[in-house]
Protein backbone atom coordinates (compact mmCIF):
# COMPACT_ATOMS: atom_id res chain seq x y z
CA UNK A 1 0.00 0.00 0.00
CA UNK A 2 1.29 3.45 -0.90
CA UNK A 3 -0.60 6.70 -0.35
CA UNK A 4 0.45 10.30 -0.90
CA UNK A 5 -0.69 13.50 0.76
CA UNK A 6 0.33 17.17 0.65
CA UNK A 7 0.44 19.55 3.60
CA UNK A 8 0.86 23.31 3.34
CA UNK A 9 2.01 24.23 6.85
CA UNK A 10 3.52 22.66 9.97
CA UNK A 11 0.08 22.83 11.57
CA UNK A 12 -1.38 20.77 8.74
CA UNK A 13 1.36 18.18 9.15
CA UNK A 14 0.67 17.99 12.88
CA UNK A 15 -3.07 17.59 12.25
CA UNK A 16 -2.39 14.87 9.67
CA UNK A 17 -0.06 13.03 12.05
CA UNK A 18 -2.60 13.35 14.85
CA UNK A 19 -5.18 11.50 12.71
CA UNK A 20 -2.61 8.82 11.91
CA UNK A 21 -1.62 8.57 15.57
CA UNK A 22 -5.20 7.68 16.48
CA UNK A 23 -4.93 4.55 14.32
CA UNK A 24 -1.69 3.27 15.83
CA UNK A 25 -1.34 0.30 18.15
CA UNK A 26 1.48 -0.99 20.31
CA UNK A 27 3.98 -2.76 18.07
CA UNK A 28 3.67 -0.26 15.24
CA UNK A 29 6.87 1.24 13.86
CA UNK A 30 6.89 4.51 11.95
CA UNK A 31 10.17 4.77 10.02
CA UNK A 32 10.81 8.24 8.62
CA UNK A 33 12.70 9.00 5.47
CA UNK A 34 13.44 12.60 4.67
CA UNK A 35 16.03 15.35 4.75
CA UNK A 36 17.03 17.74 7.51
CA UNK A 37 14.08 19.98 8.25
CA UNK A 38 11.62 17.86 6.28
CA UNK A 39 9.34 17.65 9.32
CA UNK A 40 10.03 14.34 11.07
CA UNK A 41 10.07 15.83 14.57
CA UNK A 42 7.06 18.01 13.72
CA UNK A 43 5.22 14.91 12.52
CA UNK A 44 6.04 13.08 15.75
CA UNK A 45 4.49 15.96 17.69
CA UNK A 46 1.21 15.16 15.94
CA UNK A 47 1.57 11.43 16.54
CA UNK A 48 1.91 12.08 20.27
CA UNK A 49 -1.27 14.20 20.24
CA UNK A 50 -3.13 11.46 18.41
CA UNK A 51 -2.01 8.97 21.04
CA UNK A 52 -3.36 11.27 23.74
CA UNK A 53 0.08 12.20 25.06
CA UNK A 54 0.33 15.80 26.23
CA UNK A 55 4.13 16.05 26.51
CA UNK A 56 5.89 18.47 24.17
CA UNK A 57 7.85 16.45 21.64
CA UNK A 58 11.39 17.73 21.02
CA UNK A 59 14.19 16.41 18.86
CA UNK A 60 15.94 13.39 20.41
CA UNK A 61 19.16 14.18 18.51
CA UNK A 62 21.42 14.32 21.56
CA UNK A 63 19.71 11.63 23.63
CA UNK A 64 19.09 9.20 20.72
CA UNK A 65 15.66 8.43 22.19
CA UNK A 66 12.89 10.26 24.01
CA UNK A 67 10.07 8.28 25.56
CA UNK A 68 6.62 9.80 26.02
CA UNK A 69 3.91 8.24 28.13
CA UNK A 70 4.20 4.99 30.03
CA UNK A 71 3.37 1.32 29.51
CA UNK A 72 0.92 -0.04 28.42
CA UNK A 73 1.37 2.58 25.69
CA UNK A 74 4.49 4.63 25.23
CA UNK A 75 5.92 6.47 22.26
CA UNK A 76 9.64 5.84 21.71
CA UNK A 77 11.02 8.56 19.45
CA UNK A 78 14.47 7.74 18.08
CA UNK A 79 17.00 9.75 16.12
CA UNK A 80 19.37 7.44 14.22
CA UNK A 81 21.29 10.28 12.55
CA UNK A 82 24.58 9.23 14.14
CA UNK A 83 24.02 5.49 14.00
CA UNK A 84 26.13 3.95 11.27
CA UNK A 85 25.21 0.29 11.45
CA UNK A 86 22.93 -2.16 13.15
CA UNK A 87 25.59 -3.11 15.76
CA UNK A 88 25.52 0.46 17.04
CA UNK A 89 21.77 0.14 17.41
CA UNK A 90 22.33 -1.73 20.67
CA UNK A 91 23.56 1.50 22.24
CA UNK A 92 20.37 3.41 21.45
CA UNK A 93 18.00 1.39 23.62
CA UNK A 94 16.24 0.17 20.47
CA UNK A 95 16.10 -3.36 21.83
CA UNK A 96 15.20 -2.33 25.37
CA UNK A 97 11.63 -1.20 24.77
CA UNK A 98 9.01 -3.92 24.53
CA UNK A 99 7.04 -3.81 21.26
CA UNK A 100 3.85 -4.93 23.05
CA UNK A 101 3.80 -1.68 24.99
CA UNK A 102 5.54 0.69 22.56
CA UNK A 103 5.06 2.59 19.34
CA UNK A 104 8.36 3.46 17.67
CA UNK A 105 8.87 6.62 15.61
CA UNK A 106 12.33 6.60 14.03
CA UNK A 107 14.07 9.56 12.43
CA UNK A 108 16.90 8.72 10.01
CA UNK A 109 15.61 5.16 9.71
CA UNK A 110 17.65 5.00 6.49
CA UNK A 111 20.62 4.18 8.74
CA UNK A 112 19.07 1.09 10.32
CA UNK A 113 16.81 -0.07 7.52
CA UNK A 114 17.96 -3.68 7.58
CA UNK A 115 17.03 -4.00 11.26
CA UNK A 116 13.40 -3.06 10.68
CA UNK A 117 10.67 -5.71 10.45
CA UNK A 118 8.16 -6.38 7.67
CA UNK A 119 5.33 -4.56 9.38
CA UNK A 120 7.25 -1.25 9.35
CA UNK A 121 5.22 1.78 8.27
CA UNK A 122 7.43 3.92 6.03
CA UNK A 123 6.72 7.64 6.21
CA UNK A 124 8.59 9.75 3.69
CA UNK A 125 8.59 13.54 3.99
CA UNK A 126 9.63 15.54 0.93
CA UNK A 127 10.24 19.27 0.97
CA UNK A 128 8.26 20.82 -1.89
CA UNK A 129 8.42 24.43 -0.75
CA UNK A 130 9.03 26.53 2.32
CA UNK A 131 5.79 25.37 3.93
CA UNK A 132 4.77 22.56 1.61
CA UNK A 133 5.54 18.88 2.17
CA UNK A 134 4.68 15.66 0.39
CA UNK A 135 3.92 12.84 2.81
CA UNK A 136 4.16 9.29 1.49
CA UNK A 137 2.76 6.49 3.63
CA UNK A 138 3.89 3.01 2.60
CA UNK A 139 3.57 -0.42 4.03
CA UNK A 140 3.52 -3.97 2.77
CA UNK A 141 -0.08 -4.81 2.00
CA UNK A 142 0.32 -8.25 3.55
CA UNK A 143 1.55 -6.68 6.79
CA UNK A 144 -0.74 -7.37 9.71
CA UNK A 145 -3.04 -4.42 10.34
CA UNK A 146 -2.34 -2.70 7.01
CA UNK A 147 -6.10 -2.46 6.28
CA UNK A 148 -6.31 0.22 9.00
CA UNK A 149 -4.68 2.68 6.61
CA UNK A 150 -6.39 1.76 3.36
CA UNK A 151 -9.14 4.38 3.71
CA UNK A 152 -7.14 6.78 5.82
CA UNK A 153 -8.20 10.43 5.44
CA UNK A 154 -6.58 13.16 7.43
N1 LIG B 1 4.25 21.51 5.89
C2 LIG B 1 5.18 21.42 6.86
N3 LIG B 1 5.27 20.30 7.61
C4 LIG B 1 6.22 20.16 8.55
N5 LIG B 1 7.13 21.10 8.87
C6 LIG B 1 7.09 22.25 8.16
C7 LIG B 1 6.13 22.46 7.14
N8 LIG B 1 6.33 23.69 6.61
C9 LIG B 1 7.35 24.22 7.27
N10 LIG B 1 7.83 23.38 8.21
C11 LIG B 1 8.98 23.68 9.10
O12 LIG B 1 10.02 22.78 8.78
C13 LIG B 1 10.76 22.49 9.96
C14 LIG B 1 10.75 21.00 10.18
O15 LIG B 1 11.61 20.74 11.27
P16 LIG B 1 11.69 19.34 11.98
O17 LIG B 1 12.58 19.53 13.16
O18 LIG B 1 10.34 18.78 12.19
O19 LIG B 1 12.42 18.49 10.84
P20 LIG B 1 13.18 17.11 10.95
O21 LIG B 1 12.82 16.37 9.71
O22 LIG B 1 12.90 16.47 12.25
O23 LIG B 1 14.70 17.57 10.86
P24 LIG B 1 16.05 16.88 11.45
O25 LIG B 1 16.47 15.85 10.44
O26 LIG B 1 17.00 18.00 11.54
O27 LIG B 1 15.72 16.26 12.78
C28 LIG B 1 10.10 23.23 11.11
O29 LIG B 1 10.76 24.46 11.30
C30 LIG B 1 8.69 23.45 10.58
O31 LIG B 1 8.06 24.59 11.15
MG1 LIG C 1 14.10 15.85 13.83
> Is 138 inside any structural domain?
no
pLDDT at 154 over 90: no
Quick one: pLDDT at residue 82?
Answer: 92
> Is 24 inside any structural domain?
yes
pLDDT at 143 over 90: no
Rounded Cα distance between 69 and 77, Å, is 11
> Is 75 inside any structural domain?
yes
Q: What is the CATH number of the domain that holds 29?
A: 3.40.50.300
Q: 149 and 139 in contact (C-beta within 8 Å)?
A: yes
Order the strands of the 133-138 sheet from edge to edge. Answer: 2-7, 133-138, 121-127, 29-33, 102-107, 73-79, 65-70
pLDDT digits (tens, 9 = 90+) for 63-114: 899 999 999 999 999 999 999 888 899 888 899 999 999 999 999 999 999 9
> Is 133 inside any structural domain?
no
Pocket probe for ligand 1: among 17, 20, 39, the residue whose CB has the most ligand atoms within 8 Å is 39
Q: 67 and 97 in contact (C-beta within 8 Å)?
A: yes
> Is 54 inside any structural domain?
yes
Q: pTM of the prediction?
A: 0.96
Rounded Cα distance between 123 and 126, Å, is 10
Quick one: pLDDT at residue 69?
Answer: 97
| Domain of 111, in residue numbers | 9-126
> Is 135 inside any structural domain?
no
Count of structural domains, the chain = 1
> Is 151 inside any structural domain?
no
> Is 3 inside any structural domain?
no
How much is the average pLDDT of 122-141? 96
Pocket probe for ligand 1: among 32, 38, 56, the residue whose CB has the most ligand atoms within 8 Å is 38
How much is the average pLDDT of 19-44? 97
Amino acid sequence: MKREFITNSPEETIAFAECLGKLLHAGDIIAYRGDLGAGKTTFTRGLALGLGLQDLVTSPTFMLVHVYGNPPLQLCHFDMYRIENTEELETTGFYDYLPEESIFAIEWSENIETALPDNTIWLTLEILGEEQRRIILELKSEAKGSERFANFRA
